[in-house]
Structure 1
Amino acid sequence: MYIHIGEDLNIRAKDVISILDKESANQSPLVKEFLKQQSERVINLSKNPYKSVIITYDKVYLSPIASGTLKKRSNQMSIHEF
């Protein structure tokens, strides 16, 4: 299944490693360092400040959609798979 993460982009749910809210990402020195090291793989989908960070196997997305909303979408998709 796919999850819509913003700007007409859908990603495969099974490719998602982590979805973090902006507050958690900004408070963690480890996440800050990770984002800094992965800067060439970061794709900003937000025209305004981003609300969540989505980490996949090959890219890191900065999404305008809140992490709670993305979680609900992923849960709805897993329910519909059955």
Structure 2
Amino acid sequence: MYIHIGEDLNIRAKDIISILDKESVNSSELVEEFIKYHENKLVNLSKNPFKSVVITSDKVYLSPIASGTLKKRSSQLSIQEF
């Protein structure tokens, strides 16, 4: 199943390693360092300040969609699969 994470981009749910909210990113030096380290893999989907960070094995996405909304979308996919 796929999850829409912003703009016209859908990614496979099983490829998502982590979804972080903006506050977690701004309050953690380790997450900020991780994002800076993976800057070459960073894809900014947000024209405004991002609301969440979606981490996959090959890219790091800055999403304009809130982490709670992305979580709900992934939960709905799980229900629909059964």
TM-score (norm: length of structure 1): 0.99
| Structure 2 match to 1:6 | 6
Partner secondary structure for residue 3 of structure 1: strand
**Residue 61 of structure 1: SS of its match in structure 2?**
strand
- Per-residue CA distance 1:11-48 (angstroms, 9 max, x = gap): 00000000000000110010000000000000000000
> In 1, distance between residues paired with 2:61 and 2:26?
15
Structure 1 residue ranges without an equivalent (≥5): none
For residues 30 and 9 of structure 2, what CA distance do their matches in structure 1 show? 27
The residue aligned with 2:30 is 30
Within-5 A mapping of 1:1-82: 1-82=1-82
What count of residue pairs does the alignment treat as equivalent? Answer: 82
Question: How far is 1:81 from its partner?
Answer: 0.7
The alpha carbon displacement at 1:70 in A equals 0.2
- TM-score normalised by L of structure 2: 0.99
Deviation above 2 Å: which 4+ runs of structure 1?
none
Letter in 2 for 1:15: D
Amino acid at match of 2:6: G
